[in-house]
Amino acid sequence: MDGTFAWTPDEATIASSNLQGFLNRHGLGDYDALVERANGDPEWFWEAIFLYFSITFATPPDRLLDASGGIEWPRWCLGGRTNIVSHCIDRYRGTATWDKPAFIGEAEDGATVTLTYGDLDRQVSSLAALLEAEGVGRGDVVALYMPMIPEAAVAFFAVLKIGAINLPIFSGFGPKPIAHRIGHAEARAILTTDHAWRRGARVEMLSTVEQALAELDTPPRVVVLERDGEDRRDRSPDHVVWRDGPPARTRETEIVEADAPAMVMYTSGTTGAPKGTVHTHCGMLAKNALDMGLCVDMRADDRLLWMSDMGWIAGPKMVMSTALLGATIVMAEGTPTWPRPGRLFEMIDRHAISMLGTVPTIARQLMAKGVRPGEEYDLSSLRIVVSAGEPWTEDAWWWFFTAVCRRRIPILNYAGGTECGGAILIGTPLHPIRPGSFGGPVPGCGADIVEADGVPVPPGVVGELVMRRPTIGMTRGLWRDAERYVESYWRAIPGLWVQGDLASRDGEGLWYLHGRSDDVIKVAGKRTGPSEIESVVLGAGLARDCYIIGVTDAVTGSALVCAYAPLGEEDSADLAARIGAVVVDQCGSAYRPKYYLRVDDLPRTRNEKQMRRVVRSILLGHPVGDVSSCVNPECIDQVRSAARAQLPRL
């Protein structure tokens, strides 16, 4: 192994990868050559992706890309017709894959259920027939409010099968965010279940839906899966019960325009209402084949475990990617650390998981709980770990790489967003790895790192992550709000898609993320990502969680606030002094926090993304914006109260 890297691919790993096979087929010498050709000739590239993964069209496109409307409004697969279901289910009929597990559901108590591809087809057809009987058809929006169980995948594909449009909603939302999304999208129906399970508690979902619909003038039809297996007397007679059974009639998959909407996925921002991103059949097919099939090397014999939610982009992406590639996904309800801290590793052992999706926060939680993965569980089936959601701290990365990966399998970092349908930066089996690094940009997007005026920065300098090319996977505007789409992504630096992330690259071509650019702090004239300082505090074991916030200071011009959740009961003044000392030692005296805010918890999303912007808004006296995705909203008022009590007027 090269001493400058934590992991370097061996010849067998490189030779067996999908990516190397693609390079060989097209006579490309390395990944950089692929990126250069894909960025320069997007029509060649996306056609090559379709062909490599056997994605065909019922009616082939006349042209793959029309960019005459400007960089903001490309048109894709003109004249083509297809359907995602044709590629994720129908094409396996009559093959060995038909009898292979497509989805394995695991409940919190360990009970499992398996759906083969044939089972999936039957259940999708049955639900599609029910939806049609209720008047749902092509172009209608259908909300999906369900936990991570196999029936959620059935619902996702059933909506697509009849040419309707999925509206996935986070299963942890309360009535108001559900009502907003359904009302804004004008959903014709909502698919839900009576309850879910989380940390041993029954979570009522149907009653939450009923509260949400009471706020709407025109509520959608409710189709409910009753998991108890018996009719509920308190259920409204207007609701339709979804039961598995033979389809009312045999029905072919509805073939639609290739670039027709397949999914509206709402994403929250710092200000304003959530934005409805629009994803299409051809866009989702191509982007998922690229990200999951080509770059992170998912194969038909893989078993994937990625505990997410259908209401985040990762949920539909994993459900669709595994089916597109003929693989198997384990859909686990609940959380990765309950009923036992090692539940995640129990499932790897029990289901022979070969691909694991995770977030860095989980690693930090498991470290704190003293879990010993490699000693207590058989993890030999693992061959790849994919990480997303936030930058790693170096100590957490090394712990996971040593304890879980045993320093022999790669952690492939993955970063992008809902708006772009997946990754902008990604790790691959061809690239060496340093803690927290990405192999490089995803081909075809023209990724770059620039100053505020759009000028590229040299290696080693932190700048704004942008895309110089439209990609087939990005949103087709925003649902019912074209102007906000352009304003949100294309006007900050005209002619460039601004993702809102800070990034850098090193002298050997590896890329890194440094947090959200609206979290950027400027100290001593230098822009710094807060995660660089936070990782020092967390790595020293001085806090359970930590956010570094930059604020205006009347004396120095700028100052840092360290908001932290302590590990124990240590005196606040003593702990603040220790935090300040380690920051000075590791980062320099200019980065010593001026203010310290001790809190019980810090806001995060359900899939463990930091909500640093919420704390920053509180400190600056600004509205906190949309917090419907926050998994611990009770801590927001606690942070606000602590700020008033502990900090001087900033």
Q: Is residue 575 part of a domain?
A: yes
CATH number at residue 623: 3.30.300.30
Cα–chain-centroid distance for residue 386?
11
Strand partners, 78: 63
Are the C-beta atoms of residues 116 and 98 closer than 8 Å to each other? Answer: yes
Q: Is residue 538 part of a domain?
A: yes
Strand partners, 516: 501
Helix, strand or coil for residue 168?
strand
CA–CA distance, 426 with 413 (Å, rounded to integer): 6
CA–CA distance, 68 with 46 (Å, rounded to integer): 18
Cα–chain-centroid distance for residue 437?
18
Angle at 164 between CA 43 and CA 185, to 5 degrees: 95
Instruction: Give the chain's domain count.
Output: 1
**Which residues, in sequence order, are CB contacts of 486 under 8 Å at separation 6+?**
72
Q: Which amino acid type is present at position 271? A: T
Q: Tell me what pLDDT residue 627 has.
A: 85
Pairing of strands 355-358, 303-306: parallel
Q: Tell me what pLDDT residue 1 has.
A: 39
Domain that holds residue 529: 520-646
Q: Is residue 309 part of a domain?
A: no
Nearest to 391 by CA among 415, 410, 369: 415
Burial of 230 (0-12, 13-18, 19+ CB in 10 A): exposed
Burial of 47 (0-12, 13-18, 19+ CB in 10 A): middle
Alpha helices of 273-359 — where are they, by DSSP H? 281-288, 314-324, 343-351
CA–CA distance, 459 with 83 (Å, rounded to integer): 42
- Residue 19's alpha-carbon distances to 15, 25, 72, 121, in angstroms, are 9, 10, 29, 30
Tokens of 443: 């081909």
Stretches in the chain below the pLDDT threshold 70: 1-3, 229-235, 246-250, 269-272, 522-528, 554-557, 606-607, 649-650
Which of the 8 DSSP states describes residue 393? P
- Whether omega before 339 lies within 30 degrees of 0, making that bond cis, reads yes
**Which residues, in sequence order, are CB contacts of 571 under 8 Å at separation 6+?**
none
**Which residues, in sequence order, are CB contacts of 591 under 8 Å at separation 6+?**
523, 528, 533, 560, 583, 584
Q: Is residue 532 part of a domain?
A: yes
Phi/psi-derived region of residue 131, left when phi > 0, alpha when psi is between -120 and 50, beta in every other case: alpha
Q: Is residue 601 part of a domain?
A: yes
Q: Is residue 539 part of a domain?
A: yes
DSSP 217-272: SSPPEEEEE-TTSS--TTS-TTSEEE-----SS--PPPPEETTSEEEEEEE--SSS
Q: Tell me what pLDDT residue 2 has.
A: 47
Strand partners, 416: 423
Q: Is residue 403 part of a domain?
A: no
Q: Is residue 152 part of a domain?
A: no
